[in-house]
Amino acid sequence: QVQLVESGGGLVQAGGSLRLSCAASGRTIINPAMAWFRRAPGKEREFVAAISWSGGSPIYADSVKGRFAISKDNPKNTVYLQMNSLKPEDTAVYYCAAKSWVMTSNVNDYFYWGQGTQVTVSS
């Protein structure tokens, strides 16, 4: 089985920063792409950022471009989301997700999911 475990969420004031981590374990995913999604209260899960293990430029939602950065550490099987200049509208549960092959921004394309970590941004 594949397990994804997020960490690093918490409460931060607007303008602050957080760094989320997602550690993968279990079965090897073939040519994996990994992504971050988020779900705000009462809303659908939405795409945040994605990165390919094999190379290529990461992709981002327009709402986080210039503020968030996704990165990976291959030997540690870990993906990160550095979040800067946080806004109250960034408040959500953040989920790590994984799939094989091509990066996409579609929530329905991803096979494996973590349990989520809460990020709350106060005004």
| pLDDT of 9 over the 80 cut | yes
Interatomic CA distance for residues 18 and 80, integer angstroms: 10
Tens of pLDDT along 39-57? 999 999 999 999 998 778 9
Query: Alpha-carbon Rg of the chain, whole angstroms?
Result: 13
Instruction: Provide the 8-state DSSP code for 2.
Output: E
Tens of pLDDT along 89-122? 999 999 999 999 999 999 999 999 999 999 999 9
Tens of pLDDT along 71-89? 999 889 999 999 999 999 9
Instruction: Provide the 8-state DSSP code for 106.
Output: -
Q: Residue 74 has what pLDDT?
A: 85
Residues 6 or more apart whose CB falls under 8 angstroms from that of 121 comprise 12, 13, 14, 16, 86, 87, 88, 89, 90, 91
Q: Residue 42 has what pLDDT?
A: 94
